[in-house]
Amino acid sequence: MNSAFIRFAKNHRNVEMLFNYMNDGLMLTNHRHEIIAVNSAFQRITGYTLKDVEGMNPSVLKSGKTPKHVYHEMWDSISRSGTWTGELLNERKDGTLFWSFITITKVEQPRPEDSYCIGIMRDISERKWQEEQMKYNASHDTLTKLPNRVLFKEKLEEALRTASENGEKVAVLFLDLDRFKKINDSYGHQAGDELLMKMSQRIQSVIGEKGLVSRFGGDEFTIFLPAVNEAATEHVISALFAAFEKPIIVHEKELYISMSIGACFFPEHGEDVETLLKNADSAMYRTKEEGRNHYQRYEQGMNETFAEELSLETELLKAIRQQELEVYYQLQVDIEKRIPFGIEALIRWNHPLKDVLSPAIFLPLAEEMGVMADIDEWVLNEACQQTRRWHREGFGELIVSVNVSREFFKRPDFVSRVEQALARAELDPAYLCLEITEKTAILQDEDIRAKLNQLKQKGVGVSLDDFGTGYSSLSQLRMFPIDTLKIDQSFIRGQVSPENQAIVKLIIGMANSLNVSVICEGIETEEQLSLIRNEGCYKAQGYLFSRPIPADECKGVMERLIQSFT
């Protein structure tokens, strides 16, 4: 302790005790606010010895980063009540910053020149940085480091206030990646994360200082642009699309990313944060419906379709409970033997108001709602039982094909569920064929391949649906020994072009050489039938033989087909 301090402490014995045992930094100033004493804790915290600061104003510790009003409050409080406690962001001798929790007390003496101030400070930097980190984490997305929805809403709220004072517009954009779920499912979550990170960097590089980008959740990003007009906003949106023309490299693969954007404006389309976000979301939703990779500006009434969608969602849940779902069947015909050899189970929804709904309308919804696997399993059980009935009625060789989604495959007990369905129906596994669609890259998944192998060993068949529409058709064939290829109907539709004819020829030739059987889907006319027969395909499915029909109509159609061929 230095001499000034000792001199002072001698006159104030109880204060001396306190000073000696304190871990807190201590500083005394005289009536002219000059530092006259500091203790060793002060030296430890600030890096300054008494020699460094003696005679100086305590403002030597100022970092310039504490807001001015804090000092006003401080002097105000000291002059009113003789003391002040608060937090200051100060600077050490070496220039580093530290947070101090300070109590300053003015001790008045009869002679004003004997009055002094005691400052007691504690270094609370660690706690403050932690608090700041926590605040940052609570308001930022951990993956992309972008502001999260909480912070976004806060900042948008501020921006709306400023805009309304200045009579300006604010654009709110809702941006959603197209088919992100597919990417996640096909390449794994790690790849999905990497993609989101790289995407957010690209978005951020376009928006820069023009506005604020946030990761709103999942694959959704929101952006607001203060003080803009519609032309400037469109300019920014074009720049966003341009930024995604080049592929994003994820796990050494080039992914071409498309996204859908919805835009709305303050104050025209809403005056508060929630309304603006809802309307931008509706506009984005409309973009998705109209083909994706585009943008839409909000228009009155867009919410209504959204509400309709929501009600379809609740209706679907009701439909599952109230058994409005039904399995239709479509025949598969052996062209040479001229008899139906198989039948494909295709789900339908007997909607009480909307008639019979096609799976193309409600399966994507079921997928989003997470009920896809349940629906598939139900279809599987129905189809096995119905097929067993047909076997008993004399169609003893009929093979039933059931479409299986990735969601159902991913159930850990998928294999035993299929076995149970077969056992319940008392159907020989050889009469069940599982259809997998190549679009969802199911065969890329090792776990699913293992499950398929187990079932295949039991005699269950596997066919690859919609063949030729995915981009990795041929590589899929190397991954798993499938039994049947189903050539997608798009190749045979309408007037068959020479290119499509060549593709069909190639697929059939390749399948024959690999000993894989081929079915052509979508055969509607005799011309199409002879075209595929000439190329060496002997199995067909299509409206020419039968449309998908309810189970109880199938028997009649099968009998008529057999009779007409004989």
By CB under 5 A, name the binding residues for Mg ion: 403, 435, 465-466, 521
Q: Which lies closer to ligand C2E via its Cβ, residue 123 or residue 488? A: 488
Q: How far apart are CA 483 and CA 497, in angstroms?
A: 28
Find the part of the chain contacting ligand C2E (CB under 6 A) among 217-225, 456-464, 537-545, 558-566.
537-545
List strand residue ranges (DSSP E) for 257-367, in order: 259-266, 295-297, 325-334, 339-351, 355-357
Q: Is 330 in the site for ligand C2E (CB under 6 A)?
A: yes
What's the CA angle centered on 162, arms 161 and 168, to 5 degrees?
110
Q: Are 265 and 170 in contact (CB under 8 A)?
A: yes
Provide the greatest CA pair distance for the chain.
128
Residue among 87, 326, 524, 559 that touches ligand C2E (CB under 6 A):
524
DSSP string, 454-496: HHHHHT-EEEEEEETSSTTHHHHHHHS--SEEEE-GGGTSSS-
Q: How far is the CB of 562 from ligand C2E (least distance, A)?
A: 20
Instruction: Give the interface size with ligand C2E as a residue count (CB under 6 A).
Output: 25
Q: How far is the CB of 467 from ligand C2E (least distance, A)?
A: 10
* Closest residue by beta carbon to ligand C2E: 542
Of the candidates 266, 248, 69, 64, the residue with the CA atom closest to the CA atom of residue 158: 266
Q: How far apart are CA 173 and CA 183, in angstroms?
A: 23
Draw the binding track, 182-201, toward ligand C2E (x: CB under 6 A; -: no contact). --------------------
Residue among 151, 379, 398, 422 that touches ligand C2E (CB under 6 A):
379
Q: Which lies closer to ligand C2E via its Cβ, residue 356 or residue 450? A: 356
Residue 59 gets which letter from DSSP?
G
Q: Is 466 in the site for ligand C2E (CB under 6 A)?
A: yes
Q: How far is the CB of 379 from ligand C2E (least distance, A)?
A: 4
Rg (CA), the chain: 37
Q: Are 380 and 418 in contact (CB under 8 A)?
A: yes
Q: How far is the CB of 550 from Mg ion (least distance, A)?
A: 18
Q: How far is the CB of 537 from ligand C2E (least distance, A)?
A: 15
What tokens does 288 get? Answer: 């998705």
Q: Which lies closer to ligand C2E via its Cβ, residue 437 or residue 444? A: 437
Q: How far apart are CA 45 and CA 96, in angstroms?
A: 11
Draw the binding track, 220-239, toward ligand C2E (x: CB under 6 A; -: no contact). --------------------
Amino acid at 544: L
Find the part of the chain contacting ligand C2E (CB under 6 A) among 20-28, 94-102, 275-283, 538-546.
538-546
Choosing among ligand C2E, Mg ion, none, which partner's interface includes residue 543 (Cβ < 5 to 8 Å by kind)? ligand C2E
Rounded to 5 degrees, φ, ψ at 131 are -60, -45
Q: Which long-range contacts (CB under 8 A, 24 or more apart) does 528-531 make?
A: 528/492, 528/496, 529/335, 531/492, 531/496, 531/501, 531/504
Find the part of the chain contacting ligand C2E (CB under 6 A) among 24-32, 140-148, 239-247, 398-406.
398-406
What tokens does 164 get? Answer: 């309304």
**Which spans of this chain sit near ligand C2E (rule: CB under 6 A)?**
330, 346-347, 358-360, 363, 376, 379, 403-405, 435, 437, 465-466, 489, 521-524, 541-543, 548
